[in-house]
Amino acid sequence: MKTDWLHSDLIGWLATIVFMTSYIPKSPAMLRRIQALASCLWLTYGVVIHSTPMIVANCLVAAVALYSSFTKSAASASAPITPARLPRPGETISGAST
């Protein structure tokens, strides 16, 4: 039926759009949550087109993305990283001269 094909394609395109938007947020945790949502949409697409590999792969991706977005490492990963300042000539670090 043509409408079934159209609906499955719409789910696939929506999943693509959601996945692309996951690169916009600065927070790693938010990126992972959006990717989990996209994986759930891809999983739905896999169910509609009866694709077992797509279903299994996106179940795993969604689970890992959600888990990692709520763990402590995801929260600490969102802290800004500042570069270390290199010593200037003649400056000492921990008592050693350069």
Residue, of 1 and 63, whose pLDDT is higher: 63
Q: How many domains does the chain have?
A: 1
Statement: residue 75 has pLDDT above 70: no
pLDDT number for residue 7? 77
Q: Is residue 46 part of a domain?
A: yes
Strand ranges (E), the chain = 92-93, 96-97
Asked if the model's pLDDT at residue 87 lies above 80, the reply is no
Is residue 54 included in any domain, yes or no? yes
Does 96 reside within a domain?
no
Domain range enclosing 33: 2-76
Residue 89 in domain: no
Whether residue 12 lies inside any domain: the answer is: yes
Going by C-alpha positions, the residue among 65, 21, 73, 74 that lies closest to residue 39 is 65
Q: Is residue 94 pLDDT above 80, yes or no?
A: no
Q: For residue 43, is pLDDT > 80?
A: yes
pLDDT of residue 81: 54
Indicate whether 42 belongs to any domain: yes
Token pair, residue 30, equals: 């938010």
Amino acid 32: pLDDT: 92
